[in-house]
Amino acid sequence: MRKTERLVVDLPLHLVAGLRASVRSGAYPSESAAIEELLTGWYGPDGTNEPPIEILRAFIAEGLADSEAGRVSDAEEVYGRVMARIDALQSDKAK
């Protein structure tokens, strides 16, 4: 039997709305299941796959260099592309 622990978190309203919409759409059976899947994707199934700090620093440095060079994207446009990708993945998963 899997052990669990109750955790209370404060999230921005737009993230809560998105989480609840995912549950309402049937993509996840519960808010807890959705968050568990996200965290499992980040940390791996055994919870030990946190990326090394060097990799995170490299990603940040790359982002800063892109920004300084003018290689930027509109946040709303990126958000729209990410949400479209998530919707596509969810519908593929439902098939």
Q: Are residues 41 and 62 in the same domain?
A: no
Stretches in the chain below the pLDDT threshold 50: none
Tell me the C-alpha distance between 76 and 70, whole Å.
17
Residues 82 and 72 in one domain: yes
CA distance 53 to 51: 6
Q: Judge if 61 and 84 occupy the same domain.
A: yes
Query: Number of folded domains in the chain?
Result: 2
* Model-wide pTM > 0.75: no
Residue 1 falls within a domain, yes or no? no
Backbone φ, ψ for residue 37 (5° rounding) = -65, -40
My answer on whether 81 and 67 are in the same domain is yes
User: Residues 10-33: pLDDT tens digits?
Assistant: 999 999 999 999 999 999 999 999
